A and B are shown apart, each in its own frame.
Chain A
């Protein structure tokens, strides 16, 4: 069986198992957390494509996620567009934003890309938080154009609340699952498809690859833009799921959390980031008791994994498999 076929089958199998979960587990908290897992799964699979496959050391991923979330909230809030329509629109806006960022950064060398994308993310954050001039004055008080420190709320939802009442979160679970499956399928298509091959060629033999007309910049921009679509969609769904969008999506802690998922799972692999997302969310759940130490633990996990296990858990498994042969 070809690796691509195997990966697709694994994805379908996982999707079926996960689709059965709400039939067995009725606890709202667990279902909601799993919905959040789907959101993070989308973000890390797409970020992984950028970092691990295309070799773009971008730290703008959470900023793009935020663009998706904010665009959804703002379209719904200011123009009363239904959230279900605002979501794909927001994803396209995210793609546009990513292309601007990509055009500015991608011609630069690795470390420059990391610094500039981080700086751009920080600028977006500062613009959102520092803008205190009232744009509108709803009953809840002054609201700056980008929501300011408080952010947006009450911009509508996907409509499942009206349809299903208190069970709406199950519908959100399935929406999240569907989006995550799409994102993972997309990631398989990139990694196993021609783009993945092109990047492998660029890594292994840059001179030959370029002489065959493989333009690194062009391919990187493609991956950057396409992965921004799902990242933006994940942000949009985050907005719809929680009904609130605030500057917390820009926080360094959140960036750290998601980056750790990729590093722990294994950068550049299809399933590593998903494994990392699941493990870190479980660990985070476990550390809820010692909340104060959460960020210290997260920082340690990140540093220790990069230093001692740079290929992540997926790397360990691969090495074992090779040794077994």
Chain B
């Protein structure tokens, strides 16, 4: 029983963290068929900016998070204007933007490395204490992560469903030509989506680093996991991505308990490959659309 509570508690935390960064990737892919390989570097950037704001500038936690979101949002915007926009008309856009963002990610990661050094640092944004369920300690940090993640997902759902900007994003993702014929300026939508994705990456990066510490290359594995989640859900499917993130978080936590941490990712991936052989467009996949 206690084991089950432990697995569920840590699985939900993992799933919530994955979901936040996965939503951003799914929105970007859904809108402009772009796999942003600089996402991992944005996770790290968000974590380090929060660290910098809190320790060097002496900002309170909320301001640190806000600053991280702003910086990563602007970084997303720059990626759109400097890399994606010039290539949008190209026939090989998907391949080219993939390679270009690998390059951008490498630059960003190594700049962080130059500025903050290679040694691991603890994320200052962390709450102490724990809640005891049965005989299981659930750290308050995990509960905070879960709470913030749920809140953010609600905000994203609200924006997508109830705001003019959200309707434009959904329309663009579902049919690019039709969206333009409704009077939507899709270039603006692309820019907005990359900004949102960057801001979400910042939050996700802060969450991840609050549990496992800051390293310049900390974003690599979480990014790969987020992409794997997107793939399982069917690329571009936002709600499927949230569901898949939570399921995979729980699964990872279970695998970690049964087989040990070092094999969790490998086993997870083999499961994903099996899923893809079974359903090549992802579990919930039809095509790439932002589903409501």
State the A residues within 8 Å of B (CB): 57, 104, 107-112, 114-116, 118-120, 122-123, 126-127, 130-132, 252-253, 256, 259-260, 263, 292-293, 295-296, 298-304, 306-308, 310
The answer to whether B231 touches A116, judged by C-beta atoms less than 8 angstroms apart, is: yes
**Is the pair B104, A310 in contact by a Cβ cutoff of 8 Å?**
no
Q: Chain B 240-275, CB within 8 Å of chain A: the 1/0 string?
A: 000000000000000000000011011001101100
Q: Tell me how far the C-beta of B266 lies from the nearest C-beta in chain A, rounded to whole angstroms.
A: 5
With A114-B98, A120-B269 known, 8 other A-B pairs at CB within 8 A are A107-B280, A109-B280, A116-B273, A127-B266, A252-B106, A295-B110, A296-B106, A302-B103
CB distance from A53 to the nearest CB of B (A): 13
A260 to B107, CA, bound (A): 13
Query: What class of interface size applies to chain B in its complex with A?
Result: 35 or more
The answer to whether residues A126 and B100 also contact, given A116-B276, A299-B105 and a CB cut-off of 8 A, is no
Q: Are A256 and B103 in contact (CB under 8 A)?
A: yes
Q: How far is the CA of A303 from the CA of B38 in the complex (A)?
A: 11
Give residues of chain B (99-131) contacting chain A, Cβ–Cβ below 8 Å. 99-111, 114
Determine whether the beta carbon of B266 is less than 8 Å from that of A303. Answer: no
Stretch of B88-96, B133-141, B206-214 at the chain-chain interface: B88-96
B176 to chain A, nearest CB (A): 17
A-B contact pairs, 19 of them (CB 8 A): A104-B277, A108-B276, A110-B95, A111-B235, A114-B95, A119-B228, A122-B220, A122-B221, A123-B269, A131-B262, A259-B99, A259-B102, A298-B106, A302-B99, A302-B102, A303-B101, A303-B107, A306-B103, A307-B86
Complex Cα distance, B106 from A263, in Å, reads 16
Residue on A nearest B261 in the bound complex, by CB: A130
| A253 CB contacts on chain B under 8 angstroms | 106
- Which residues of chain B are within 8 angstroms of A260 by Cβ–Cβ distance? 103
B35 at the interface (CB under 8 A from A): yes
Contacts of B29 in A (CB 8 A): 111
State whether B99 touches A306 (Cβ < 8 A). Answer: yes
Are A115's CB and B87's CB within 8 A?
no
In the complex, the chain B residue whose C-beta lies closest to that of A263 is B99
Can you name the residue of chain A whose Cβ is closest to the Cβ of B40?
Answer: A252
The 8 Å CB contact of B102, one of A108, A131, A256, A292, is A256
Contacts A111-B98, A112-B231; A300 near B265 (Cβ below 8 A): no
Query: How distant is B75 from chain A, measured CB to nearest CB, in Å?
Result: 14
Contacts of B94 in A (CB 8 A): 110-111
- Given the complex of chains A and B, what is the CA–CA distance between A252 and B37 in angstroms? 12
- A102 shortest CB reach to chain B, Å: 12
Contacts of A130 in B (CB 8 A): 262-263
User: Cβ of B263: which chain A residues have Cβ within 8 Å of it?
Assistant: 127, 130
Binding site for A on B (CB under 8 A): 29, 33, 35, 82-83, 86-87, 90, 92, 94-96, 98-111, 114, 220-221, 224, 227-228, 230-231, 235, 262-263, 265-266, 269-270, 272-273, 276-277, 280
Cβ-defined partner of A299 (8 Å) among B90, B95, B103 = B103
Task: Out of B92, B228, B231, B265, name the residue touching A126 (CB < 8 Å).
Answer: B265
Chain A: which residue is nearest B221 at the CB level?
A122
A320 to B109, CA, bound (A): 37
Given A116-B231, A307-B100: A252 touches B110 (CB 8 Å cut-off) = no
Is the beta-carbon distance between B273 and A104 smaller than 8 angstroms?
Answer: yes
Q: Which residues does chain B contribute within 8 Å of A132, judged by CB atoms?
A: 262
A282 to chain B, nearest CB (A): 19
Select B106's contact among A104, A120, A292, A295, beta carbons within 8 Å. A295
Minimum C-beta distance from B67 to chain A (A)? 24
Query: Chain B residues with Cβ under 8 A from A310's Cβ?
Result: 87, 90, 92, 96
Interface of B is mostly: helix
Known: A259-B99, A295-B106. A115 touches B276 (CB 8 A): no
How far is it, in angstroms, between the C-alpha of A108 and the C-alpha of B231 when the chains are bound? Answer: 11
Among all A-B residue pairs, the 10 with the closest Cβ atoms? A299-B106, A302-B103, A303-B103, A130-B262, A299-B107, A306-B100, A299-B103, A295-B110, A296-B110, A123-B266
Chain B residues with CB under 8 A of A304:
103
In the complex, which residue of chain B has the Cβ closest to the Cβ of A108?
Answer: B280
| Docked CA distance A111–B82 (Å) | 21
Known: A256-B106, A300-B103, A301-B103. A307 touches B83 (CB 8 A): yes
Complex: A263 Cα to B103 Cα, angstroms: 11
Bound together, the chains give a CA A302 to CA B100 distance in angstroms of 6
How near does chain A come to B32, taking the closest CB pair, in angstroms? Answer: 12
Kindly state the separation between the CA atoms of A308 and B262 in the bound complex, as whole angstroms: 41
B10 to chain A, nearest CB (A): 19
Q: What's the minimum C-beta distance from A275 to chain B, rounded to whole angstroms?
A: 18
Report the nearest A residue to B95, measured CB to CB: A57
Interface contact B35-A111, CB-CB below 8 Å: yes
Distance in angstroms from B229 CB to nearest chain A CB is 10
Shortest distance between the CB of B71 and any CB in chain A (Å):
19
Given contacts A111-B35, A130-B262, A296-B111, contact A307 B102 (CB under 8 A): no
Which of B82, B86, B98, B228 lies at the interface centre, i.e. has the most chain A CB atoms within 10 A of its CB?
B98
Residues of chain A contacted by B266 (CB below 8 angstroms): 123, 126-127
Residues of A within 8 A of B231 (CB): 112, 115-116
Which of A104, A108, A301, A306 neighbours the largest number of chain B CB atoms within 10 Å of its CB? A306
Output the nearest chain B residue to A296 by Cβ-Cβ distance: B110
Shortest Cβ gap from A161 to chain B (Å) = 36
Which residues on B sit within 8 Å (CB–CB) of A302? 99-100, 102-103, 106
Complex-state Cα separation, A302 to B95, whole angstroms: 13
B251 to chain A, nearest CB (A): 15
The answer, among B107, B265, B270, B277, for a CB contact under 8 Å with A296, is B107
Closest Cβ of chain A: how far from B140's Cβ, in Å? Answer: 30
Chain B residues with CB under 8 A of A252: 106, 220
